Amino acid sequence: IGLLIVWVWPLQQQQYAAIGILTMTWGDGLAALVGQRFGVHPYQIWGEKKSWEGSLTMLVVSFAVCAGILFGVQGAGAATWVAALVGAIAATLLESASKYGIDNLSVPLGTAAVCCWLNYLL
């Protein structure tokens, strides 16, 4: 969280810190709950057990977080929806591929960076 604040504060782009933090707390938290409770389609990446149900939850919740925050800040333009979708995909891939709990760092930083980068490009 501290790294996100230090990164975005000088840019006056606090929405990206919120995206990173909320994607981690809501997306990853709900993905773990859904995956443990309803995960009947498992898969493994680098020895880490995941479920498709948990990963789908991560994708949907991350999209909702990214889209909601970006919509509130910049409206419903194409950049909002593209950044939200790609950010959600990035969050899901980072969460799936991270080992040893490093997703607590990779998901918020990676998701915020992807959304920020895409909004500057689009």
Span 54-79, mean pLDDT? Answer: 96
CA–CA separation, 112 and 68 (whole Å)? 14
Alpha-helical segments (H) within 1-102: 2-8, 14-22, 29-38, 52-74, 78-97
8 A C-beta contact, residue 35 and residue 54: yes
What residue segments make up the domains of the chain, in order of their start?
2-121
CA–CA separation, 37 and 15 (whole Å)? 32
**Beta strands 48-51 and 42-45, pairing class:** antiparallel
Average pLDDT over the chain reads 93
pLDDT > 70: percent of the chain? 100
CA–CA distance from 63 to each of 3, 11, 96 (Å)? 22, 23, 16
Residue 51 pairs in a beta bridge with: 42
Residue pLDDT, tens place only, 95-122: 999 888 899 999 999 999 999 999 889 8
Could you tell me which residues come within 8 angstroms of residue 111 by beta carbon, excluding any fewer than 6 positions away?
A: 19, 20, 23, 24, 62, 66, 87, 88, 90, 91, 94
Whether residue 38 is predicted with pLDDT greater than 80 in this model: the reply is yes
pLDDT classification of 2: cutoffs 50, 70, 90: confident
